[in-house]
Chain A
């Protein structure tokens, strides 16, 4: 295996509120290789978003290290950190909350180009059109306010924004969870295609193990701030080792397509019955 692109070690983050302490991250170590997708799953509150945001340096961990390529990402600050951000981007869950309510699509895409000096003012319209094209959106969308496009399109704009700096890693925090299933499929296809073309690595955060399984090379399962299990996607799903892993697998609703063996009303147990003792 090649040297990992992203490697985090012993990350710990404790939230304090009203005298209570919550372990957001509890001694978490993991890595992502270039061109690889790591799926991060776990029940609500298990610390997935915390990890994603710590990696992005949006939240400061209490302790632990974050290395990106040769750089000590966890120790950077100021200008160095800002220029480093070119290489690692993020897509958020709620496509309506992730954009300045006053911005147009063009504004959104121009910002990273301008900040990192990736395109002169004159080149920008063309680059923006290219970016829109790469996520399957028409160029004429650029002039629209972000809030005047549909949810699925908005998430594509978010991906285009992440692609603008030509990063090596994109962190996707529940990036498809808010979308309708038909749209979700398209976005996942897009992500996979982009990875194939550009050798992108993804840290793919979701609570839906089935979706994670569909796009990830490796899967890490989190619970209560810890990574309780990690391994190749197929293995983890087929034979989960941890309690949480087993519960997650059991809880996934299975699409039950009967072979028309009976037209009697269905009276069997729901297919997620195993969950009750989780």
Chain B
């Protein structure tokens, strides 16, 4: 059908739109329609016969037993938006010139990538200097493997600063048409797309709407048809779900799980005491948080791996259920009795500023801590100041962090508890926590090529973390998509909002 235009709310305009360089959801949200990864997350089977991955630019993948190579068979007959053919040279270029040296997550995943062999136009063989678990590569594919065109970037002195990063040329179902800063991005149908009968839409417009309440209004007024990433405030969902012609989806974010965690500065004597940390864990009513702050659109967390990652999840860990008396007893035991005023000690609590929920949880945590005699002051910073205070200057006692589980614990989870990360790295262990046992376990898992053995190590890690609580995980949450009922095929994969939308349709 023709003339179908999908208007979507977007809440930010990334300064670098190239997903091969910036692997973040804000970038993927727009660019994933233009630039494709080797494989995408899926609710069902994958190219290697195992669950969870669907082929995109790669049709199949296989890792060697020694963990020193991985082979990708590439899709044939794919053309770049400018008409050039897509070949293995593009993959090699992307991996060696972009993912490994430039990409925020690729730098870690491909740290040991040495070379990419291209025996033919449709085969790419990744060679690693040290054994690299294929489980990790595989899990990371949807996030780290966005392929860019070699002929576009080749010869650029500084790829990271290239103009081409914001005028994307990809292989995806939509071509980048225009960006009116502050107003919208417009993507148009790629008539030469490899997917048969795809894309179904003629045009996608990402309309920049920074205010969440405004997005809800625009949706109701019919000015936009879709708002993903909870752009419609959770509190408004109950009402808006009753508006005829509007659907609410909570599926489609399974591989984009955000984790609400309390980061702890272990340099504070009180917080270095495990009893105090346990007391704090007991002081938090996780059910209340899920029910009231997330209005049920979340799950209580048991540790650093969310339930949404069944491959690694271990629910059989020490839990710290909500128990104010227990918390008080632990604090008394730890040697911090209530003083005259009823407070044991004072803390500074820095909630991360980017989500309403993290802030609200900050407000809640202040109250929860007050109930056990800890006097917390909430410090409200903007993003830059928060980054500086928590991750560079370590000038905090507790921080609320929305960390992301990215398919494999090695990508962005173990960094939360492994000691030795230099200052300045966000969402890493900046609390100065150091546990030899945990460090050794993480290092071992990093070298373990065998999938089962590696998985077991991570399950054990969850137990250790739950016992010692270097970080307190409270809830795991996804997002909500609200769309006009005209929009079809919504939320049909675990990373739907940041996938290609090749099959998304709009009923007349």
The answer to A–B direct touch (Cβ < 8 A) is no
Interfacial residues, chain B to chain A (CB-CB below 8 A)? none
Spell out A's residues near B (CB within 8 Å).
none
